[in-house]
Structure 1
Amino acid sequence: MLEVSDLHVSYGNVEAVRGVSLTATPGRVTLVLGANGAGKTTTLKAIAGLERPHSGRVALDGQDITGLAPHKIVRRGVALVPEGRRVFGPLSVGENLRMGGYTAERSKAAETLDRVHEMFPILSERAGSAAGLLSGGEQQMLAFGRALMSQPAVMLLDEPSMGLAPAVVDSILAKVRQMADSGIGILMVEQNAEAGLDVADEVVAIARGEVVYAGPVSEARDNASVLRAFLGEAALAGED
């Protein structure tokens, strides 16, 4: 389990994340909602080691990983799929996947690759193709697969549906559900709230760097007007 407790992150004198606490549980999807500037991406970056919190704690299965270097956090079992996918365009699909497994146990690499191909058959079919030639949806699947190659216990997904055609969004988020059902804890930032709610188990809403709602999807749906108010308030903040 990933546990984030009272996390604070600042950029100079501006506090972007103000005491955020949340969890990501094996086999479950925790959806993080909030408008641009709410602090969602900064929270993920701090968990992944790309931003250093000035206070608070990030723990994986009880072990403190706060402020570790990103590659060490990946080795511990936390993988980030960044906004915009960021695949290595000139490299082949197969090479991208191998890059994703550089911190993982080599003895399990072939088995992990087989599981990735089983979950995303298109990646096997396009193994020799340049990643930059894939469609947006295929690149998102590659970004998922690359993260899975590190054999993570927890995956941090930043806006996985961004820039994708509506017809593709449902299939991409169905893959998120499938990854969770395989036993991985998923912490997902997603601007498409309705689509995200369809695959999530838990919801955390962040406004102005603070958690303003946390609870199960069933309660979030019952309080849709409250969530909309939170998102509207968050829209008054600056950028992530």
Structure 2
Amino acid sequence: MLELAEVHVRYGHVEAVRGVDLQVRPGTVSLMLGPNGAGKSTMLNAVAGLVPLASGSITFEGERLSGLPPHRVVRRGVVLVPEGRRVFAPLTIEENLRLGGHTAPRAKVRETLAKVYEMFPILADRRSSSAGLLSGGEQQMLAFGRALMSEPKIVLLDEPSMGLAPAVVDTIIEKVSLMAESGIGILMVEQNTEAGLDIASEVKVMNRGGVVFAGPAGQVRTDASVLHAFLGDAALTES
């Protein structure tokens, strides 16, 4: 289990994340909602080792992650799929995937590559094509596959549906669900609330760096604190 306890992250004098507690269990999707600037991406980057904590702790399976460099976080089984996909456009699909497996034992790379191609057949069909020629949805699948090459136990997803057509979003969300069904714990930041709620088991809502709601996905649409996080004070005064 991934666990964050009283996590604070600061940029200079600005506190971007304030006292966040959360847990991500294997085989579940934990959804993070909130307006732009709430601290959601910063929180993911902190888990991935890309930004330091001001205080608090991040542990996975009882071992401390906070303070480790990103490559050691990946080796512990936690990997980030960043916002905007960030594939290596000049490289082929297979080269991108093999880069994702650089922390894994070489003997496992071929086996894991076969599993990724089974999950994403379109990547197998175009394995020799440049990643820059893929559509946005295909690049997101490549980013998923690249993350899976390290055989993670936890995957951090930052806005996986951003900029994608609605039909493609459905496919991407389906793939996220399949990852969870395989036993991977998913911590997903997503602005497409409806799509995220379709597969999430639990939800946390962040606003101004702190968590203002935590509970089952089914409560999100009716909880006043969630409405306040997205719509402000007016949401609580309307009849």
Q: Is the shorter-chain TM-score for this pair beyond 0.5, marking a shared fold?
A: yes
CA apart distance, 1:221: 3.8
**Alpha-carbon distance in 1 for matches of 2:227, 2:172:** 24
Question: Structure 1 unaligned runs (5+)?
Answer: 235-240
- Alpha-carbon distance change, 228 to 88 in structure 1, aligned in 2, over 3 angstroms: same
CA contact (8 A) 2:173 2:195 kept: yes
The CA deviation at 1:54 is: 1.0
User: What do the CA deviations read for 1:65-121 (whole angstroms, capped 9, x no partner)?
Assistant: 112100010011000000000000000000000000000122211111111111111
Match of 2:93 in 1: 93
Distance 2:225 2:14 in 1: 27
- Contact between 2:212 and 2:225, CA under 8 Å: does it hold in 1? no
Larger displacement relative to structure 2 (101-110 or 145-154): 101-110
Which residue of structure 2 lines up, in the alignment, with residue 149 of structure 1?
149
Asked whether the equivalents of residues 207 and 233 of structure 1 are also in contact (C-alpha less than 8 Å), the reply is no
Amino acid at match of 1:100: G
Q: Please say if residues 81 and 143 of structure 1, whose CA atoms lie closer than 8 Å, have aligned partners that are also in contact.
A: yes
> In structure 2, what is the Cα distance between the partners aligned to 1:108 and 1:175?
22
1:229 corresponds in structure 2 to 228
Matches within 5 A, 1:74-153: 74-153=74-153
- Equivalent residue number for residue 178 of structure 1: 178
When normalised by structure 2's length, the TM-score is: 0.95
Q: CA RMSD in A?
A: 1.2
The whole-number CA distance in structure 2 between the counterparts of 1:232 and 1:33 is 13
- Aligned residue in 1 for 2:22: 22
User: What residue identity is the alignment partner of 2:171?
Assistant: S
Shift of 1:232: 2.5
Point out 4+ residue stretches in structure 1 off by more than 4 angstroms: none
Give the drift of 1:222: 4.2
Q: Which residue is 2:41 aligned to?
A: 41
CA contact (8 A) 1:203 1:214 kept: yes
Between the aligned partners of 2:117 and 2:105, the Cα distance in structure 1 is 18
Higher relative contact order, chain-length normalized (CA < 8 Å, sep 6+): 1
Alpha carbons of structure 1 residues 233 and 7: separation in structure 2 relative to 1, 3 Å: farther
- State the distance in 2 between where 1:222 and 1:120 align: 36
Q: Deviations over 1:36-66 (max 9, x none)?
A: 0000000000000000011011000010111
What does residue range 43-62 of structure 1 map to in structure 2 within 5 Å?
43-62=43-62
The percentage of counterpart residues that share the same residue type is: 62
Q: Tell me, in whole angstroms, the C-alpha distance in 1 between the residues paired with 2:182 and 2:62.
A: 22
1:2 and 1:14 map into 2 onto residues whose CA distance is: 26
1:4 and 2:4 are equivalent in the alignment: yes
Provide, for residues 145-185 of structure 1, a one-character-per-residue CA deviation record: whole Å limited to 9, x for no partner: 00000110000000000010111111101100000000000
Quote how far apart the aligned CAs of 1:227 are: 1.8
Q: How many residues align?
A: 233
